[in-house]
Structure formats: structure tokens, C-alpha cells
Amino acid sequence: MWALGDYAAVAREVIPGLGAVLVDACGVRAGQQVLDVAAGTGNAALPAARAGARVTASDLAPELLDAGRRLADEAGLALDWERADAEALPFDDASFDVVVSCVGVMFAPHHRVAADELVRVARPGATIGLVSWTPQGFIGQMFAAMKPYAAAPPPGAQPPPLWGDEAHVRELLGDRVEDLRAEKRSWPVRFARPEDFRDFFKRTYGPTIVTYRGIADDPEKVAALDVALADLARDHMDADGRMGWEYLLVTARRSGA
């Protein structure tokens, strides 16, 4: 799914600085071993490398890793790029000083399994940092708007925006972490028109592309989803096309230090 469209454009044009917010919140510094899980094109991995950390960027989609490598080369940054499933990370226990994911691990279908992996690869005392879209925020509502038109999820899969619910994240990480801090913030986004948002996401964003492909032979459903997504954007836009997309920023320390 994430190899479809142009997620690099989403990272570049819609959330270009969101990964840096996470890196700053985690206090990433030179010499640390940092793992970016479901890294995409390196939205968090690249700023972590700029801070002087030794960074491993992992993602399931090789196309996104290839795009991230090109960005790193252009910026003169050295990172390790590894294909990896967030639910089965190919790294040893207690390998990293910082483990982060910026609107990435939230899309792993089995939340408990993914959370277990985040904790497993973190050293005692390591920082775990997450940015996730909230259920109540714009992206959470976008997934709700697409749900009637989307194929049923696999058995056991949980909705991605649940990672944006503080209680859910606390339950997933449990007593394996300490000093968990969670803060809802808003990410500024601007499109000239509601239809511009819709068309951009139809062209670039994997989950939206997959949803439209599933109803491609039903023009009425396509038209209805077109209206639903444009209306959603319109409801969140001010007169200048600005929106605030709510996300949850979580930082915690791995227990056992």
C-alpha cells in the first residue's frame, strides 16, 4: 500500500518538519544509536542523523527506503536503511538508545505486537518516542470518512488512529516504560481548496489510493467519496485554506535503567 502513489511528496509537502519535532522531543544527540521504525522516506531519521546520531531507518516498503536513501545522499547524511516489518524487527534485544516512529508504526495492523517490538529493541533507560494522528483529529476523521468505502481490514487488525489515544498507548506500553508523557498538538497544513487536498491524497497517499481502487467500478461510490473528503477538508479549513491536523506526541523511558 505504501509503495503506491508518492508518499515522499506527502512527507515533503505536508509534514516536512514533523519528524524533527519528534527528534527534538526525544532529545536525540550525537553518538546515540537511533532506530526509526516505519521510517518511510526518513521524516524522523534524517533529522536524527543531522543531530549526529547513528541512525537505522527501517520500513517494510523498499520503494520508500530507496527514496530516503536519495534524500540522505543529497543532504550528505550517512544512515543505515533496512527493510523491516514493524511487527518483527530484525534487531537484537536492547540495541538502541532511542526508538522513534513518526506516523509510521501506527499503521502496523497488530498494535500489541508492534508495541512489544518497540520496547524489545530499546535498551534499559532508552527513550521511546511516537507521533500518531489522533482519532478525533483530521486524519482520524479522514479514515472514518473512508471506512464505508474501504475493504474490511484483516482479522485482528486495529484502527491506526488508536495510537493517537493516550490511554491506548499507555495500555500498550504498560509498566515496561517510565515517565511517559503525552501531549496533543496541531500540525499546520494548507491547501488552496478542499478539492486540492482530496486530489493530492488521491494521487499520493497509499490508504486513499487503495480505497479508491476498491470502488473504481462503482462511479456512484467514487463520487460520494469525492464529496465526503472535500467536505471534510472544507469543514476544517479557514478562509485561507489552513488546517490544523491533531497528533499525539508521546515520549517515555524504557524501564530497567
Q: d(Cα 64, Cα 87) in Å, to the nearest integer?
A: 18
Determine contact, residues 111/168, Cβ cutoff 8 Å.
yes
| Average pLDDT score over residue span 131-139 | 97
Per-residue cell: 223: 463520487
Please say whether the beta carbons of 64 and 12 come within 8 A.
no
The pLDDT of residue 257 is above 70: no
Question: Which pLDDT score, from 0 to 100, does residue 218 have?
Answer: 97
CB atoms closer than 10 angstroms to residue 137: 23
**Chain mean pLDDT for the chain:** 96
State the total domains in the chain: 1
Q: Is residue 205 part of a domain?
A: no
Is 209 among the domain residues? no
Whole-angstrom distance, CA of residue 62 vs CA of residue 40: 9
Asked whether residue 1 is assigned to any structural domain, the reply reads: no
Residue 150, domain member (yes or no): yes
99 within some domain: yes
Q: Give yes or no for residue 4 having a pLDDT over 90.
A: no
Residue 217 lies in a domain: no
What pLDDT score was predicted for residue 154? 86
Q: Which three cell numbers stand for residue 136?
A: 478525533
CB 163 within 8 Å of CB 105: yes
> Does the residue 206 lie in any domain?
no
| Edge-to-edge order in the sheet of strand 33-36 | 80-83, 54-59, 33-36, 96-102, 122-133, 242-254, 177-190
Q: What is the CATH number of the domain that holds 157?
A: 3.40.50.150
The pLDDT of residue 3 is 82
Domain that includes residue 76, residue range? 7-188+244-254
Contact 114, 87 (CB under 8 A): yes
Residue with cell 468505502: 149
pLDDT digits (tens, 9 = 90+) for 75-111: 999 999 999 999 999 999 999 999 999 999 999 999 9
Q: In percent, how much of the chain has pLDDT > 90? A: 95
pLDDT exceeds cutoff 80 at 155: yes
- What confidence category does residue 36 fall into, taking pLDDT thresholds of 50, 70 and 90? very high
* pLDDT at position 27 over 70: yes
Angle between helix 219-236 and 206-214 (nearest 10)? 150
The reported pLDDT for the residue numbered 205 is 95
Indicate whether 119 belongs to any domain.
Answer: yes
